[in-house]
Amino acid sequence: MKFKILAIAIVIILIVSGLLVAPYGNNNNQKSQSPSSLSFKNISYPTYVYQSQNFNIYINETSGFTNYSVNAFFGVQNNSDNTVPSDYYKNSSNPDFVIPIVAPNTTENIYVYVEATAFNGNSKESAYTNFSINVSQPVHLNATLTNTASAPAYNITVNFLVNGITVQTSMIGKINAKSNYTASVIVPRAELPPGRDLLTISTNNPNIGIPKGVYFYNGHPPNYNWIYYIAAVTVAFAIFLIVISGRRNTVKVPKWKHAGKKTSKSTKNTK
């Protein structure tokens, strides 16, 4: 536990120091032959990933330098499966780098701090950046497609849309004639809107029959049982009030009056 806290603290310290020392500059108007300073031309990474997902971080430094290197540090709270490295380093003559990562099997955030270096002649240049990647539960989306044509269909692109927005795309090499094929994708739960969502499918082939849109609930559906509990309590309380009011309207005769009537009757009989 102390090691995990220390790792996260180191990443945070590096992030703060990087922001104070040399934040990466504007990428516009960079000259390839005579660069003024090193910067990140492009950094590509997913904002959301699902548990145990394999993904890559793509880093492209400014061209025109020599002896490029990337040093990345990672911080996670729970890394029991040891899928996330504590650091990554690579040196290359190419400004393009790819960092492979496997997400942890727990829902949390991956904190990343990246330091890039390169040489402009004898002068060493540096650039820094940091970001985080959210790890959430996987959501499996499936769709059964039908090839209605009498010939096989090739290279089918299947788009999975949630509420009209494409969240994932699947490529199918071949679907035989008059045959069905089930396409499946996995989407991070955090990438989907919470609540009731509509899943629809689209393809690039008009001969492929697609299923109708279906609704699903992202998260825990609301529990409306409390409405029935309140209704039952209200009905029981109303019945209780009716019973109580009926008892109050009934006039009870005192026992001594009943005794008096019996005495008078017996007196008449003796006469």
CA nearest 91: which of 121, 57, 112, 65?
65
Residue type at position 71: N
> What's the pLDDT score for residue 159?
98
Query: CATH topology of 2-136 equal to that of 138-218?
Result: yes
DSSP-derived secondary structure letter, 206: T
Cα–Cα distances (Å) from 123 to 36, 37, 67, 70, 117, in that order, read 11, 10, 11, 17, 10
List of long-range contacts for 256-263, beta carbons under 8 Å, 24+ apart: none
Topology of the domain comprising 2-136: Immunoglobulin-like (2.60.40)
Write the CB contacts of 151 (distance below 8 Å, at least 6 apart in sequence): 177
Write the CB contacts of 102 (distance below 8 Å, at least 6 apart in sequence): 52, 53, 54, 83, 84
Pairing of strands 214-218, 195-203: antiparallel
Q: What is the pLDDT along the chain (271 residues), one digit of tens a residue?
A: 554 555 555 555 555 454 433 333 333 333 334 455 888 889 999 999 999 999 999 999 999 999 999 999 999 987 777 788 889 999 999 999 999 999 999 999 999 999 999 999 899 999 999 999 999 999 999 999 999 999 999 999 999 999 999 999 999 999 999 999 999 999 999 999 999 999 999 999 999 999 999 999 987 766 545 455 555 566 665 665 676 766 655 555 565 555 555 555 555 555 5
Torsion angle defined by CA atoms of residues 26, 27, 30 and 35, in that order, rounded to the nearest 10 degrees: 70
Topology of the domain comprising 138-218: Immunoglobulin-like (2.60.40)
Torsion angle defined by CA atoms of residues 192, 196, 199 and 200, in that order, rounded to the nearest 10 degrees: -120
Domain boundary assignment for the chain: 2-136, 138-218
